[in-house]
Structure 1
Amino acid sequence: MPPDPQLAKVDALLSKGALEEANRLLEGMLQAAPAGRDLLIRLADIALVGKRPVAALAYADRLVELDHADNDALFYKAKAELACGNTAAALDLTNALDQRLASRTAPFLLLKGKILAAMDDYQSAGQAFEAALAADSHYAQAYEGLDHVLYRQGDLQQAQAVWKRHTAQTPDSPIAWTKLAEVLSALGETDEAQVCLERAAALDPGNPGTWHALGHVYSECWKFEKAESCLQRAIELDPRREGCKSLLGLIRNELGDTRGALAALNPPGGTGMSFSRCLYHALLLPQIYESREDLYRWRERYSGGLAAMHAALESSSPGPEEVFNLSQTNFLLAYQGRDDLLLHREYARLLRRLIARTRPDLVERDRPSARRGGRIRVAFVSSYFRECTVGHYFRSWIGSLDPSRFESVVIYTGNQPDATTRAITASAENFIIQRGGALKVATTILELQPDILIYPEIGMQSTNCVLANMRLAPVQCAAWGHPVTTGSDLVDYYFTCSRMEPPGSPGHYAESLLELPGLGTKYALPSPVVHKLAPEAFSLPSDRHLYVCPQSLFKIHPDNDRLYLEILAADDKAVIVFFQSEYRRVTQSFLDRIMRAMADRGMPPRNQIKFLPRLSPVLFRSVLALADAVLDTVHWSGGNTSLDALSAGATVVTLPGAFMRGRQSKAMLEILGVPELIADNSEDYVAIALRLAADAQYREAIRQRILANREELFGRSEPLHALALHLERIHASTQ
């Protein structure tokens, strides 16, 4: 029998994705042939693809009426019943089919697996999907079904194995590589996820979703130049991708391209912007300020933007997907050197309003009841439990808790676990990797029912900013991994270091302070501390005075510039050494600011400013050991950087600020018994630095005192004992 030319035309339309046109043609044909089996099957398919389950069920019922013994009719009716949510009816139909089929095909087994998964019978569903793959090892939908049930069971390792099997069998499938990347990313293995997405993009370069996903993974790994390129490609392919535009703006700002960031977030003539993109635009702060006056202008813009977003929320309705995946933080605000309490309170209030729109139960102020009896369950949540300041500072907290009194749980929301992550994993009773947005993390926390919830840092990463404005435990605490208040009414306590706080410090926080002695942690002395190298090993002059500023460039407030210029003006042999940003624009913007300041002072350039690349920890400390003076920054003092310097015996000069974040080095120097390195004012700061550079004997005497007293600073257990006492006391207050 020759093929029907009309059906051939329909099939051609379907192959092109022209579903509506194909549907119209089929409906016309059905009027002429109401008993057309092939027509009804195609119409049911189109209805299912178009998410019109009721229509699909009507077509399937007509198929069954034509022939009750038609297995295809029962198959389509089962699919339609499932799409309508009638899982019991769908299962009855597949069970009936199971008795009638001579052999179970992969599509039938796929359908049965989907029905069982919808009924939360994940074990049986997984068996059905595996059977489908046994029937057809290249059946992509069966892999997706198996992936779904493994995700629901929390077995990401097995899901990873499933997609690795699929990519091995069908290496030319971009979907398989994308799915494998999703699982790897959920496990925190973002380096491997990058490789998979690069493969997917090469196989299907016209897919904007792949470029978007690759840009996102690159951004998580701080590969912002690559991320920018991928996101631009995604937007070229699909200009409507709102998430791409938001992420592109944030990435350009990380690269130091503030103007480009603003343009991406709010292009000329841009309309229909999401609430989150408006928020990112309103609260954007640059990496480097041109001057103190420029800083004040940006701060005023931020304050006005925050008020505008509160007003905009009155007429906006961002959904849960947008709210719980916000990428905004107040990270750069803390480096302005001002009292940020009111701004943090207002931002926290905005987040609570957003959360309350979709999940009001998560912002209820009443504390949930604490568990009665047994050990105190303490949960630590961070994306920075790795080789970084937070990992160095707080790993000892987790490992020090007495297991007879405490149960320590770690929820790691970061990526690329390293040696520090593995050490923390070994010291915790329960270590959970939970990625994928604030709501998923919150759900995990609620399931764990911690007595005390501790965020070692809030403000460095967006997930913790959102979580801090939910009530997830009877007691919720923050610590000084990012030393500034959270502003949240739902964070009860803030762990701080008593020696680092100025008089009147409780007025700087929305939380109640819990003070710890010393460094507040048991910080191990690095090993090896340094390699003994000459200045020439770092392309530094050996016949000049080396003043080294170890801070990241974005942390250097414009008020520091005058101190540098005073040193250069007073010491003809001075060379001030900075460390480059990873991103060229950031370094150039900082250098431009310094050069403008020098020009304003009439100081010609003569190689007084040097930049070193980013170095390994031991080489970084080796440079600091070569310094005649290490220049701590005002308003934001060194934490980990000062500890690196002092571990090497370097002489750190500091001028304490008005807030804890500007007084960490002061506390360290007091503990080490070298208060003469603590300046009273700007003039004193310059004088101390100049004397250290000019008087080698004086500098060496102080250096020897630092080295002799290091045990007073490093490896101290007193803060950990105080931590345990605080935890027991605040837990008792909830009983």
Structure 2
Amino acid sequence: MDAHFPNTGNLEEAEKTYQKILQTEPTSPEALQNLAVIYYLTQRYQEAKELLVNGIQENALNARGYYTLGLVLEELGNPGLAAQAYKDAIALDESWSDAYNNLGNIYLSVGNIERAEEIFWQGILADPDQFGSYVNMGNVLVLRCQIDEAMEAYETALQLKPGDEEILQNLEIVRELKKEPEEALLYAGNYFYKHQRYQETIEIFTKFLEHQKGEENLYEALAQSYQKLEEYEKAIKTYQKAIRLYPKVAELYLGLIGVLGETGNPHEVIEIAETASKIFPKQILFKFIYHLTLPIIYNNYQEIEYYRTRYSEELTNFIKKTPLKTEEDKQNALAGISQHSNFFLAAQGYNDLDLQKQYGNWVHQIVAGNYPQWVQPRKMPPVGENGKIRIGYVSGCFWGHTVGKLSLGWVRHHNPEKFEIYCYYLNTRRDEYTETFKKHSHKFSENFTDIETLAQEILADNLHILTYIDIGQQAQITPLAAMRLAPVQCTTWAHPETSGLPTIDYFLSSELMEPANPQQHYSEQVVLLPNLGISYAKPVLPQPTKTRADFQLRNDGVVYLCCQTFHKYLPQYDGVFAAIAQRVPQAQFVFIARPNTAIAERFKQRIKRAFANYNLNADNYCVILPKLNQDDYWNLNLISNIYLDSFGWSGGHTTLEALACNLPVVTYPGELMRGRHSYGILKRLNLTSLIAKEKADYIEIAVRLGTDTLWKNNILERLKTNENLLWDDLKPIKTLEKFYERLVTN
């Protein structure tokens, strides 16, 4: 037990004692904090957190209470909040060395060694006899490659705690590092790489390679660090050098392919994949890449046609050439489909039903060959004694991702009296959205190592209905969705593309967004939920802190916000921006470099050609910003004038956020649901005058908004009057629940 915790003796008896005290003295600091310690020691972390938060509200916590809260929050996976709790403990008791050490280790765990070192020094000054502070300081000094100083710190710690096994092991490590200084560089470089400190990783590994040849994984880490910093040419050259040194390492080819694909070089991707598939004939992923590669961005409309035709032909050929006779064949094919995604097919702007069904049936065949027991029809289980229907939701986007924002209301607003919600999370990223999903789930499962483990858990939960929120976003979800893990399985418009899988029964869509003939676009049965089909909470906007100058925008400009990722901007519509600029001389179109600067540069060259066709210089009108954090993104919305929707694949949550910032939205609905998100949103607001009937009409609306202040203000007044229709709409949730109930009880 921590030295700062009291001896609670028999925990069960102590718990009863403190609970009894709190019944009569609900703000007793001693009872409240001791009970929280007992909850912590018995791993009831949520109960401990609630008790301590209540103690803060009642002003009943001292340094020990905040320290305990820090421990609890770390166990709950909230290091940022834990750090603040440790700071609060230190503010109340500056001699609390354990709080310094825990706080420093939080900074160290995220790679901030500068701040960690500062905190550890403060801990040493607060309590020079605390051996742990010297151990932690030694760890920092090793990462700085200051081996002699690290050895001195560990020796001091050993004097304070003679014979300690951890300290002795650390001393042994630094003595070896002193003999081989290059190993110290590797140790530090690997630490920085693990903690995403990519600039430091590059500096250290480059220094190491000045003295000797590295292993293949060092080159891979170095190349990936360049890639993360969007220094793509250096990443490519590093992979190429590594392949020359280690021509039989498949991961190096995959890394090079990844960089080339990310930077919009599909021809090179296909060439290298073809070469690699010959060197590694058993690595089927290279064949997937060769046959089914799709660009992120296109130079012209002809490229779209070329790659669509190629994809269609190669998909047919690849299916024919991929054997599924032996167990090895089946496992290889499964490995391929678990790592491949055809996400960018939807960006071409066509009805993909036939291609998706062809791919989906093939995926199902591969999955059935590997897991025949998991593709059979399932009987609807009876409702349990509690009378609740068990609904499962699967996604890798239960965080502040577009998909997470769009789908959160389905989980948050379900009736807990009628439904148990089971969330299965295929990602490690966590934020406040993750916590909200978790809070409103009967069960929230995560940290899956493979789809077999996840499939077994889903089956064990004996669900009535399983909804895959976004089939196509992550490769491993597609083979999982090709199984039959629940009697009824659905997908949703959070990824607005048919799955093509015979195991997905329903597509949960929006009645306002779908065209008149939606069933022609889906292999699933379309379910039209009322209005937008979702329940979206009104965003909480920050106070503006940035000016137009911070975004390279003119104070007198008419700022048109164009914030979609570049795969949504098709080349046949580039001239729209130039046509608007020709009639609104003060126009500035602001884009964001998503997904990266390399794709942004390709878009920039394309848009320059479009403006040149109108005898205009795009540089006078177009600004491409680097990727923005959330606060800066909000600020950009708040200082813009008009939001221009993308053609073919419309904005969804970006449109909702723009409207929350009082921006009028211009849209031209496409033939497919994914091109009609903003259309549905504006229909809901009864702002149909912002919906274009053709491309020329889109230009007219955008120009009028930029030049007719009276008309624009009238639009904004109507937006202000009707905007509450968008937020926390419960009608889609009620309809969805009735739909689920019919499926289970009929």
TM-score (normalizing by structure 1): 0.69
The answer to whether structure 1 residue 414 and structure 2 residue 420 are counterparts is: no
Work out which of the residue numbers 241, 261, 269 in structure 2 matches 1:261: 269
Which amino acid is 2:301 matched to? R
The answer to whether structure 1 residue 668 and structure 2 residue 681 are counterparts is: yes
Work out which of the residue numbers 354, 364, 370 in structure 2 matches 1:358: 370
1:709 counterpart SS class: helix
CA contact (8 A) 1:224 1:254 kept: no
Which amino acid is 1:309 matched to? F
Which stretch shows the higher mean deviation, 376-385 or 252-261? 252-261
1:408 CA displacement: 1.1
CA contact (8 A) 1:520 1:719 kept: yes
CA contact (8 A) 1:485 1:510 kept: yes
- Taking the aligned partners of 1:360 and 1:511, their CA distance within structure 2 comes to 22
For residues 444-523 of structure 1, the aligned pairs below 5 Å read: 444-523=457-536
CA contact (8 A) 1:178 1:196 kept: no
Q: C-alpha deviations, 1:628-659, integer Å up to 9, x for none?
A: 32110111111011011100110110001101
2:257 counterpart SS class: helix
1:318 CA displacement: 3.6
**Are residues 358 and 196 of structure 1, via their aligned partners in 2, closer, same or farther at CA, if it must alter by over 3 Å?**
farther
- Taking the aligned partners of 1:221 and 1:402, their CA distance within structure 2 comes to 45
Work out which of the residue numbers 257, 262, 275 in structure 2 matches 1:249: 257
Structure 2 gaps of 5+ residues are: 1-164
Work out which of the residue numbers 305, 326, 336 in structure 2 matches 1:296: 305
- Taking the aligned partners of 2:456 and 2:194, their CA distance within structure 1 comes to 23
- Taking the aligned partners of 2:742 and 2:215, their CA distance within structure 1 comes to 56
1:589 CA displacement: 0.8
- Taking the aligned partners of 2:171 and 2:460, their CA distance within structure 1 comes to 36
The answer to whether structure 1 residue 373 and structure 2 residue 381 are counterparts is: no
Work out which of the residue numbers 354, 358, 362 in structure 2 matches 1:342: 354
**Are residues 465 and 574 of structure 1, via their aligned partners in 2, closer, same or farther at CA, if it must alter by over 3 Å?**
same
CA contact (8 A) 1:257 1:585 kept: no
Which stretch shows the higher mean deviation, 205-214 or 642-651? 205-214
**Are residues 614 and 292 of structure 1, via their aligned partners in 2, closer, same or farther at CA, if it must alter by over 3 Å?**
same
Structure 1 gaps of 5+ residues are: 1-161
Q: C-alpha deviations, 1:211-244, integer Å up to 9, x for none?
A: 6689889999999889868866764554223344
Corresponding residue for 1:323? 334
Work out which of the residue numbers 659, 667, 671 in structure 2 matches 1:646: 659
1:270 CA displacement: 4.0
- Taking the aligned partners of 2:523 and 2:166, their CA distance within structure 1 comes to 47
1:351 CA displacement: 1.3
1:473 CA displacement: 1.2
CA contact (8 A) 1:208 1:233 kept: no
Which stretch shows the higher mean deviation, 298-307 or 249-258? 249-258
Which stretch shows the higher mean deviation, 284-293 or 439-448? 439-448
CA contact (8 A) 1:634 1:656 kept: yes
**Are residues 709 and 592 of structure 1, via their aligned partners in 2, closer, same or farther at CA, if it must alter by over 3 Å?**
same
**Are residues 437 and 719 of structure 1, via their aligned partners in 2, closer, same or farther at CA, if it must alter by over 3 Å?**
same
Please, what is the CA RMSD of the aligned residues? Answer: 3.8
Q: C-alpha deviations, 1:172-198, integer Å up to 9, x for none?
A: 8999x999x99x9xxxx9858999999
Q: C-alpha deviations, 1:225-271, integer Å up to 9, x for none?
A: 89868866764554223344235313421232333322332239944
Corresponding residue for 1:627? 640
- Taking the aligned partners of 1:427 and 1:684, their CA distance within structure 2 comes to 44
1:206 CA displacement: 4.4
Which amino acid is 2:286 matched to? R
1:401 CA displacement: 2.2
**Are residues 397 and 270 of structure 1, via their aligned partners in 2, closer, same or farther at CA, if it must alter by over 3 Å?**
same
The answer to whether structure 1 residue 559 and structure 2 residue 572 are counterparts is: yes
1:620 CA displacement: 1.9
CA contact (8 A) 2:248 2:279 kept: no
CA contact (8 A) 1:646 1:652 kept: yes
1:330 CA displacement: 1.4
For residues 580-619 of structure 1, the aligned pairs below 5 Å read: 580-605=593-618, 607-619=620-632
CA contact (8 A) 2:428 2:447 kept: no
- Taking the aligned partners of 1:483 and 1:448, their CA distance within structure 2 comes to 28
CA contact (8 A) 1:477 1:492 kept: yes
- Taking the aligned partners of 1:691 and 1:512, their CA distance within structure 2 comes to 41
- Taking the aligned partners of 1:213 and 1:487, their CA distance within structure 2 comes to 37
Corresponding residue for 2:138? none
1:332 CA displacement: 0.7
**Are residues 407 and 228 of structure 1, via their aligned partners in 2, closer, same or farther at CA, if it must alter by over 3 Å?**
farther
Corresponding residue for 1:306? 315
Corresponding residue for 2:710? 697
Which amino acid is 1:566 matched to? A
- Taking the aligned partners of 2:619 and 2:476, their CA distance within structure 1 comes to 46
The answer to whether structure 1 residue 658 and structure 2 residue 671 are counterparts is: yes
- Taking the aligned partners of 1:224 and 1:672, their CA distance within structure 2 comes to 44
CA contact (8 A) 2:360 2:499 kept: yes
- Taking the aligned partners of 1:427 and 1:339, their CA distance within structure 2 comes to 36
2:620 counterpart SS class: coil
Q: C-alpha deviations, 1:290-335, integer Å up to 9, x for none?
A: 1111111111111111111111114785453662463211111111
1:278 CA displacement: 0.8
Which amino acid is 1:208 matched to? E
Which amino acid is 1:377 matched to? R
Corresponding residue for 1:29? none
CA contact (8 A) 1:560 1:634 kept: yes
Which amino acid is 2:354 matched to? L
- Taking the aligned partners of 2:346 and 2:167, their CA distance within structure 1 comes to 44
**Are residues 222 and 732 of structure 1, via their aligned partners in 2, closer, same or farther at CA, if it must alter by over 3 Å?**
farther
- Taking the aligned partners of 1:497 and 1:190, their CA distance within structure 2 comes to 42
- Taking the aligned partners of 1:720 and 1:337, their CA distance within structure 2 comes to 29
Work out which of the residue numbers 518, 531, 536 in structure 1 matches 2:544: 531
Corresponding residue for 2:408? 395
1:689 counterpart SS class: helix
1:394 counterpart SS class: helix
- Taking the aligned partners of 2:383 and 2:603, their CA distance within structure 1 comes to 55
CA contact (8 A) 1:477 1:494 kept: yes
**Are residues 731 and 230 of structure 1, via their aligned partners in 2, closer, same or farther at CA, if it must alter by over 3 Å?**
farther
Which amino acid is 1:428 matched to? S
CA contact (8 A) 2:541 2:634 kept: no
2:322 counterpart SS class: helix
- Taking the aligned partners of 1:379 and 1:321, their CA distance within structure 2 comes to 29
CA contact (8 A) 1:628 1:699 kept: no
CA contact (8 A) 1:637 1:661 kept: yes
1:447 CA displacement: 2.8
2:512 counterpart SS class: helix
CA contact (8 A) 2:512 2:684 kept: no
1:379 counterpart SS class: strand
The answer to whether structure 1 residue 279 and structure 2 residue 308 are counterparts is: no
Corresponding residue for 2:723? 710
Corresponding residue for 1:53? none
**Are residues 355 and 503 of structure 1, via their aligned partners in 2, closer, same or farther at CA, if it must alter by over 3 Å?**
same
- Taking the aligned partners of 2:462 and 2:224, their CA distance within structure 1 comes to 31
Which amino acid is 1:483 matched to? P
The answer to whether structure 1 residue 731 and structure 2 residue 744 are counterparts is: yes
Work out which of the residue numbers 680, 698, 722 in structure 1 matches 2:735: 722
For residues 44-193 of structure 1, the aligned pairs below 5 Å read: 191=195
- Taking the aligned partners of 1:169 and 1:658, their CA distance within structure 2 comes to 68
- Taking the aligned partners of 2:603 and 2:475, their CA distance within structure 1 comes to 26
Identity across aligned pairs (percent)?
Answer: 28
Which amino acid is 2:556 matched to? D
